[in-house]
Copies of this chain bind each other. A is one copy, B any other.
């Protein structure tokens, strides 16, 4: 592909809403093959500038799309994502394709022999694997070539940079990312799209390159919150669905959470979250600003310590790679991690368990929390994937974390609002987040 950036700065396009696309396909009004060809055409237009895709599985995806089209003609619908193309972050195995993790150490990797379990689950739901999207190296901080479709001079965030950029650029309706610190929710915020990061460790991580397995969690990108939630719903394992009751139409109880930790957010970003809160209140939901009894700064520290300890142990073999084959940021994290004592790690995990219980016990009956996704909009350049610190404490708290688009800043770049819930509430929370997004959007918050 052409390496010269096209001289336009905004590549944002709605690739189509999943519920609509799926219905059109089921009703025979849209051929999955035409949908896929539309994605491939769009990739040709945007990819020279955006560089979101590591590898597009052109041959297999077209064949599979034609198969899905024939099935519809024969009255067969495999599942809720029948014929919907999805992009897969290139730390997640797709059978027949090498998983390169954006690392020179993986340059000669053989094709994966099996799909990651989450990829199998997508296929069971009828989805088509459009290809592999760019990632930071091993989902850590060394950047990918992907750029922000709102302004190619800015980062799309990381680590799931390609997945977020691919959806925001309108090349695919949905994509998979993974989050260890902030790697699903932050790229969504920077790229002005939605993401659904389920409860920490809710999904099997088989076939996903590990970084810190106390946190590594697969997450879902879509243009809107209902899009991201639809992908989650389609692959949610049976054991994560019980106890869910149809949501009443009654008002939701929402906390706009306050903590000294978020004072460093830009005023524009604070105001965007406040605007969401106001619009939700105007839509008759019970919204209240409340302080957290647990310190987000402490949560951030506990998360960082436990994560680096695990990176050190889990990826220790990367220290044996020849110099230059693994980025220095990752090597340094591995070295830092290996200096952390076992006892410090175990104590931090115990403390985290306590803090998690204390936090959610203090907020029983709360349906969702609002919180800014990032202190600032996407930084300029692609060397720095941006500040993860507003998100990692939520990853540590362990519940579902949704990124909801919340308008744009004066620099034209998107602002993301986090909508979060309690661990294990995922299936119900998907519906809560959709109601919140609807109320916020109905009142014009999202641009």
Taking beta carbons and an 8 Å cutoff, which residues of A are in contact with B? 78-79, 95, 113-115, 117, 120, 123-124, 199-202, 204-207, 210, 213-214, 216, 237-243, 310, 313-314, 316-317, 342, 346, 349-350, 353, 356-357, 398-399, 422-426
A313 to B238, CA, bound (A): 24
A247 to B346, CA, bound (A): 32
CB < 8 Å neighbour of A242 from B79, B237, B425 = B425
A117 nearest in chain B by CB position: B213
CB < 8 Å neighbour of A240 from B123, B238, B353, B424 = B424
Q: A114-B310, A123-B342 given; name 10 further pairs at CB < 8 Å.
A: A114-B316, A120-B346, A124-B350, A200-B237, A201-B237, A205-B205, A238-B356, A239-B240, A239-B423, A243-B424
Chain B residues with CB under 8 Å of A317's CB are 113
- Which among A205, A242, A398 has the highest number of chain B CB atoms within 10 Å? A242
Asked if A313 and B114 make an inter-chain contact with CB atoms under 8 angstroms apart, the answer reads: yes
Asked if A213 and B206 make an inter-chain contact with CB atoms under 8 angstroms apart, the answer reads: yes
Chain B residues with CB under 8 Å of A204's CB are 201, 205, 213
A114/B314 contact (C-beta < 8 A), A124-B350, A237-B201 known: yes
- Would you give the shortest CB distance from A395 to chain B, in whole angstroms? 13
Chain B residues with CB under 8 Å of A342's CB are 123
Asked if B114 and A241 make an inter-chain contact with CB atoms under 8 angstroms apart, the answer reads: no
A206 to B218, CA, bound (A): 14
A314 to B353, CA, bound (A): 34
- Would you give the shortest CB distance from A119 to chain B, in whole angstroms? 11
A243 to B240, CA, bound (A): 11
- Would you give the shortest CB distance from A396 to chain B, in whole angstroms? 11
A216 to B204, CA, bound (A): 10
A314/B113 contact (C-beta < 8 A), A78-B346, A123-B346, A353-B124 known: yes
Asked if A239 and B124 make an inter-chain contact with CB atoms under 8 angstroms apart, the answer reads: no
Chain B residues with CB under 8 Å of A238's CB are 199, 353, 356-357, 398, 423-424
A205 to B205, CA, bound (A): 7
Q: Chain copies in the assembly?
A: 2
Chain B residues with CB under 8 Å of A313's CB are 95, 113-115
Asked if A350 and B239 make an inter-chain contact with CB atoms under 8 angstroms apart, the answer reads: no
A78 to B426, CA, bound (A): 29
- Would you give the shortest CB distance from A243 to chain B, in whole angstroms? 4
CB < 8 Å neighbour of A120 from B95, B349, B422 = B349
A205 to B241, CA, bound (A): 20
Chain B residues with CB under 8 Å of A207's CB are 213
A316 to B115, CA, bound (A): 13
A399 to B199, CA, bound (A): 20
Chain B residues with CB under 8 Å of A213's CB are 117, 204, 206-207
A283 to B225, CA, bound (A): 50
Asked if B123 and A242 make an inter-chain contact with CB atoms under 8 angstroms apart, the answer reads: no
Chain B residues with CB under 8 Å of A243's CB are 242-243, 424
Chain B residues with CB under 8 Å of A237's CB are 200-201, 398, 423
Asked if B314 and A239 make an inter-chain contact with CB atoms under 8 angstroms apart, the answer reads: no
Chain B residues with CB under 8 Å of A214's CB are 117, 120
Chain B residues with CB under 8 Å of A210's CB are 206
A117 to B212, CA, bound (A): 10
Asked if A423 and B205 make an inter-chain contact with CB atoms under 8 angstroms apart, the answer reads: no
- Would you give the shortest CB distance from A299 to chain B, in whole angstroms? 14
A240 to B399, CA, bound (A): 11
Asked if B79 and A350 make an inter-chain contact with CB atoms under 8 angstroms apart, the answer reads: yes
- Would you give the shortest CB distance from A129 to chain B, in whole angstroms? 12
Asked if A346 and B206 make an inter-chain contact with CB atoms under 8 angstroms apart, the answer reads: no
